[in-house]
């Protein structure tokens, strides 16, 4: 796509799509249906990218396409609340009881950024704790990296992020409660929130160790900081009520995206009513969005959630477990939570980002390309997750296992 290269930085509209981590030229994909995508030469691939999470039903699910068509026919965004927003919000709040009030936005980034603003307003504190390897979108305050051991302050993880912004975000180690405790003690009374991916999926899939999430709940409660679950990936993916249902831990605020938009641009943040009532126009925290709650996006999200019945979760779980067994190749280890999987070229599943980074990324790149040659499209990075959808039926999983062999 040389034309794309002249139009977009790196020829892409999101960096991971440039295949820098695995090398080679990305295929140009033109169509998707169910578990499959086709490139412009007509070649078919089994797709485990699934738009990086939203397509839990697979590509172009009939019910979702029809809902989008009907909503589009009925006109665009009206600039006032419409029934579709209410219906989707009711579905989300019914499945995630911790979400008593919700605000739709247009990306996970916007949702995470807004949730932090609410937390800072609610606690009148300035610092936020995130985890090394945790990704919450590209808001300045979330693009920070752990400072070197000596420098206890965080450093920017992107050009253009200022040191003063980075200094307000502290970085702890995933699955390491002591690292959180130490930061809370050192900055006593100053931490507004801890934001965490309850199942990390941006360092590859790293599950929370037993007690980790409950430990975060206790530490935040006792220190006066809020607990924010970033469920942009895990929400309605790892269980009907997301990771907070799966692990039985109730956050103060939840960040959502991906699945709730059925593949269209979406984000949402929500949680305790007393916190969300701080958001304009009912409170002093300003946040707005021209196309927030767009009827077509709401229709796609509603159609998707309505398809996600216990039976569908059970069948996705069954096939994902079969894929996990099939992924056990020599010299690699598999991490899986529900329909999220990562094959780590590592002698055991990592428990944090430092261990994940020790994986053999060159071996992953070779595996990626051999699978691509065999007609299986994996996410182009060791630090992403494979997504199994409801459309990945027995025959698709069998074909994938064959390709692995
Ligand atoms: P968006 O702003 O990209 O909609 O969402 C940001 C985000 C927030 N929280 C979590 C846990 C996320 O995983 C993401 C975005 N995920 C990446 C892939 N892991 C999106 C792919 C991309 O950047 O192109």
pLDDT in tens, 20-43: 999 999 999 999 999 999 999 999
Q: Which of 7-16, 150-159, 348-357 has the lowest mean pLDDT?
A: 150-159
Distance from Cα 106 to the centre of ligand 1, integer Å: 12
Segment 212-230 shows an average pLDDT of 98
pLDDT of 1 higher than 70 = no
Segment 380-386 shows an average pLDDT of 97
**Ligand 1, atom 23: closest residue by C-alpha:** 14
Catalytic residue flag (residue 19) = no
**Ligand 1, atom 10: closest residue by C-alpha:** 136
pLDDT of 342 higher than 70 = yes
- pLDDT 10s digits, 93-119: 999 999 999 999 999 999 999 999 999
Q: Is the CB of 22 under 6 A from ligand 1?
A: no
Mean of per-residue pLDDT scores for the chain: 96
Q: Is the CB of 237 under 6 A from ligand 1?
A: no
Residue 365 DSSP SS3: helix
Rounded CA separation 239/162 (Å)? 38
Q: What dihedral do alpha carbons 29, 30, 31, 37 form, nearest 10°? A: -20
Distance from Cα 341 to the centre of ligand 1, integer Å: 16
**Ligand 1, atom 17: closest residue by C-alpha:** 52
Q: Is the CB of 67 under 6 A from ligand 1?
A: no
**Ligand 1, atom 8: closest residue by C-alpha:** 136
Confidence of residue 197 (pLDDT cuts 50, 70, 90): very high
Q: Is the CB of 136 under 6 A from ligand 1?
A: yes
The residues with which 222 forms a beta bridge, in sequence order, are none
pLDDT at 150 (0 to 100): 57
Distance from Cα 56 to the centre of ligand 1, integer Å: 15
Q: Is the CB of 200 under 6 A from ligand 1?
A: no
What percent of the chain is modeled with pLDDT above 90? Answer: 95
- pLDDT 10s digits, 45-99: 999 999 999 999 999 999 999 999 999 999 989 999 999 999 999 999 999 999 9
pLDDT at 221 (0 to 100): 98
Catalytic one among 132, 258, 269, 313? 258
**Ligand 1, atom 6: closest residue by C-alpha:** 137
312 class by beta-carbon count within 10 Å (0-12 exposed, 13-18 middle, 19+ buried):
middle
Confidence of residue 189 (pLDDT cuts 50, 70, 90): very high
Q: Domains (ranges, CATH) in the chain? A: 1-33 (no CATH), 62-307 (3.40.640.10)
- pLDDT 10s digits, 137-176: 999 999 998 776 655 678 899 999 999 999 999 999 999 9
**Burial readout 98-136 (b: 16 or more C-beta within 10 A, e: otherwise):** bbebbbbbbbbbbbbbbbbbbbbbbbebebbbbbbbbbb
Rounded CA separation 157/135 (Å)? 11
Confidence of residue 242 (pLDDT cuts 50, 70, 90): very high
What atom of ligand 1 comes closest to residue 137's alpha carbon?
6
pLDDT at 162 (0 to 100): 96
């Amino acid at each position: 796509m040389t034309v794309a290269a002249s139009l977009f930085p790196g020829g892409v509209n999101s960096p991971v799509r440039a295949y820098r981590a695995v090398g080679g030229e990305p295929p140009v994909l033109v169509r998707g249906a169910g578990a499959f995508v086709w490139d412009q030469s007509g070649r078919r691939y089994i797709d485990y990218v699934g738009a990086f999470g939203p397509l839990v039903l697979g590509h172009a699910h009939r019910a979702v396409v029809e809902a989008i068509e009907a909503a589009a026919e009925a006109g665009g965004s009206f600039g006032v609340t419409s029934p579709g927003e209410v219906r989707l919000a009711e579905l989300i709040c019914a499945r995630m009881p911790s979400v008593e009030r919700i605000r739709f936005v247009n990306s996970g980034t916007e949702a995470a950024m807004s949730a932090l603003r609410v937390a800072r307003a609610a606690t009148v504190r300035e610092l936020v704790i995130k985890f090394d390897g945790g990704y919450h979108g590209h808001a300045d305050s979330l693009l920070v990296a752990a400072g070197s051991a000596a420098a206890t302050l965080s450093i920017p993880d992107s050009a253009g992020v200022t040191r003063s912004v980075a200094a307000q975000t502290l970085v702890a180690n995933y699955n390491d409660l002591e690292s959180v405790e130490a930061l809370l003690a050192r900055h006593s009374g100053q931490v507004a929130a801890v934001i965490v991916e309850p199942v990390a999926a941006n360092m590859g899939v790293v599950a929370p160790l037993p007690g980790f999430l409950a430990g975060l709940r206790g530490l935040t409660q006792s220190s006066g900081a809020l607990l924010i679950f970033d469920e942009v990936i895990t929400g309605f993916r790892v269980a009907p009520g997301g990771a907070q249902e799966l692990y039985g831990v109730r956050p103060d605020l939840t960040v959502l995206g991906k699945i709730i938009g059925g593949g269209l641009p979406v984000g949402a943040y929500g949680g305790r009513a007393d916190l969300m009532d701080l958001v304009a126009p009912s409170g002093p925290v300003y946040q707005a969005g021209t196309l927030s709650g767009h009827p077509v996006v709401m229709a796609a999200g509603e159609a998707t959630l309505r398809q996600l019945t216990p039976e569908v979760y059970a069948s996705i779980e069954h096939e994902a477990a079969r894929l996990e067994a099939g992924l056990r190749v020599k010299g690699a280890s598999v991490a899986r939570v529900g329909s999220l999987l990562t094959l780590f070229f590592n002698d055991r599943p990592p428990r944090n980002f430092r261990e994940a980074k020790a994986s053999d990324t060159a071996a992953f790149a070779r595996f990626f390309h051999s699978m691509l040659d065999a007609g299986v499209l994996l996410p182009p990075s060791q630090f992403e997750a494979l997504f199994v959808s409801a459309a990945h039926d027995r025959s698709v999983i069998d074909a994938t296992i064959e390709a692995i062999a």
